[in-house]
Amino acid sequence: MNPLLCAPSVTCLLAILTWALAKPCRAQSPATVAEKSNYTATSKHEEVVDFCKQLAKASPLVRLGELGTSHEGRKLPVVVVADPPVATAKEAKKSGKLVVFALGGIHAGEVDGKEALLMLARDLALAKDRSLLKDLIIIIAPNFNADGGDKLGNNRPHQAGPAQVGTRANAQGLDLNRDFVKAETPEVQALVRFLNRWDPALVIDTHTTNGATHRYTITFDGPRHPALFAPLTKFIRDRLLPDVGRRLEKASGYKAYFYGNFAGNPKQWETTLAQPRMGFHYLGFRNRIGILSESYVYAPYRDRVLATHGFVRACLEFAADNQEAIRKLLKEADDSGRSPAPDARVALRHKLVPLPKPVTILGLEGGKTPATGKAKDFQIDYLGRTEATLSVTLPYAYLVPATFPGVVENLQRHGIEVEKLREDTRLDVEVYRVDGIARQKPFQKHALVNVQATPAKDNRTVKAGTYIVHTRQRLGRLAAFLLEPQSEDGLCTWNFFDNALGEGQEFPVLRLPAEPK
């Protein structure tokens, strides 16, 4: 382990010794490509599938399934580890256990999660100690971007091994971790179907960072958008993630902190905007716990894999130890969607804001790798909170014209309940008038749209066949965020309404402010 990734204190050395006795063992069967190559190579999809099949033969606790099929036709395996074993979502629900899901390889050049999750599945399935499986059903999709993963090449030359890794995008040239709103790739469509069926309480998405230099082997994050159920955000930020970071360091010596990058040379620790196009933020809009795991790109490949393994395991331990609190919290989040306050509002746009006090970031002086940098601590602002810059009152329902079947298909794909108006009905509605339209540079093969609009009250006849999207449902906040024209990351943003957009014209979706009498 690089000394700059873990200061060589007595406590740290004792932690490493303790962890070394329990760490994944190369001699175990089956072994991953990373282990067999002494951490110089990563698995191709065929090798991932073969590993999963070997594990299913080796352990009666494993059931194999398929998440779906990639753009190029590769079957995406899932490994379900449970005691007693389960093979279906119905069986999982009947068990009463928390379902926890871990995802690897959404960015196929970031291979640490793929290898770590295969190792973790093996360690859980073959261990004599089954204490985690007493409370959890653990599902692992190790190689989500299978097409990109098989396009091995020198795709991340700045990464500290292995030399040959896959591509960031899938075979369509799309970033799967920017697809959760539009859901146009077969991989993300399959994943959303899985989320609807299995409803995991906690989802861990494993990545590798892209370049900031620091002394954390793992950085992490959770959903932060101000539109979310606030107690869920607070639980993840203030309780779950710090606890998991402490567990990881105690078990392995690897340090962890909130994900970020230096900004202003360096005056701030800056993180991502909290947009649901990204998987872990999207989970928050579903009232579930999304966790981002980012291993440190300049750490040796072996350390990155082992640290990711340890971090995901620490998440599992936290879920098992806090299962009742998690169940209670998620039920409250769902109930808040079904029965929002009379004056409930939904945030449509946001900005990052700093924590009340500066934080200490374990950084490095100069250089792009730990070997050429000296340890240096920075006292700087961490932009780890969010504030709404635009919000609207949550209506009773939205009315979507029948001429927008793609919008309705998208809503239903996310699990949002949609009904149809059976006859022409006179209703008091709110109509948006489009004041301005700004189109951004092409991004993910879309020209993203930013709309300014002004609402006005009206009474009009709404035609039979119009779709009704009630907001008094579990995913009501998500429905509102997707359908509001001024949302920063809604369906209007992603071109679902382009053929009806024009300055001075009405936005086609109407708001129904209150339940009709």
Is the preceding peptide bond at 226 cis, omega within 30 degrees of 0?
Answer: no
Structure tokens at 245: 């970071």
Q: pLDDT value at position 516?
A: 93
Structure tokens at 8: 């060589």
Q: d(Cα 379, Cα 400) in Å, to the nearest integer? A: 50
Q: pLDDT value at position 367?
A: 60
Contact of 103 with 144, CB cutoff 8 Å: yes
How do the pLDDT tens digits run along the chain, 517 residues long?
Answer: 443 454 434 334 434 444 443 445 444 589 999 999 999 999 999 999 999 999 999 999 999 999 999 999 999 999 999 999 999 999 999 999 999 999 999 999 999 999 999 999 999 999 999 999 999 999 999 999 999 999 999 999 999 999 999 999 999 999 999 999 999 999 999 999 999 999 999 999 999 999 789 999 999 999 999 999 999 999 999 999 999 999 999 999 999 999 999 987 788 999 999 999 999 999 999 999 999 999 999 999 999 999 999 999 999 999 999 999 999 999 999 999 999 998 999 999 999 999 999 999 999 887 666 667 789 999 999 999 999 999 999 999 999 999 999 999 999 999 999 999 999 999 999 999 999 999 999 999 999 999 999 999 999 999 999 999 999 999 999 999 999 999 999 999 999 999 999 999 999 999 999 999 8
Domains of the chain, by residue range, sit at 10-337, 351-388, 394-512
Q: How many CB atoms lie within 10 A of CB 420?
A: 11
Q: What predicted TM-score, i.e. pTM, was given to this entire model?
A: 0.94
Q: pLDDT value at position 266?
A: 81
Q: pLDDT value at position 370?
A: 67
Q: pLDDT value at position 22?
A: 43
Q: What are phi and psi of 266, to 5 degrees?
A: -95, 125
Q: pLDDT value at position 61?
A: 98
Instruction: Return the CATH superfamily for domain 10-337.
Output: Zn peptidases (3.40.630.10)
How many CA atoms, within 13 angstroms, populate the side-chain half-sphere of residue 179?
A: 24
Calculate ∠ Cα 36-40-45, nearest 5°: 70
Q: pLDDT value at position 517?
A: 86
Q: d(Cα 47, Cα 77) in Å, to the nearest integer? A: 12
Which region, left, alpha or beta, applies to residue 465 given φ > 0 means left and ψ of -120 to 50 means alpha? Answer: left
Q: d(Cα 31, Cα 363) in Å, to the nearest integer? A: 35
Q: What are phi and psi of 221, to 5 degrees?
A: -160, 170
Q: d(Cα 69, Cα 77) in Å, to the nearest integer? A: 9
Q: d(Cα 470, Cα 399) in Å, to the nearest integer? A: 9
Work out the end-to-end distance of the chain between its first and last CA atoms, rounded to an integer number of angstroms: 68
Q: What are phi and psi of 244, to 5 degrees?
A: -65, -40
Q: What are phi and psi of 247, to 5 degrees?
A: -60, -45
Structure tokens at 190: 């399959």
Using DSSP, state whether 225 is helix, strand or coil. Answer: coil
Q: Where are the beta strands (DSSP E) in 47-146?
A: 62-69, 75-81, 98-103, 136-141
Contact of 147 with 170, CB cutoff 8 Å: yes
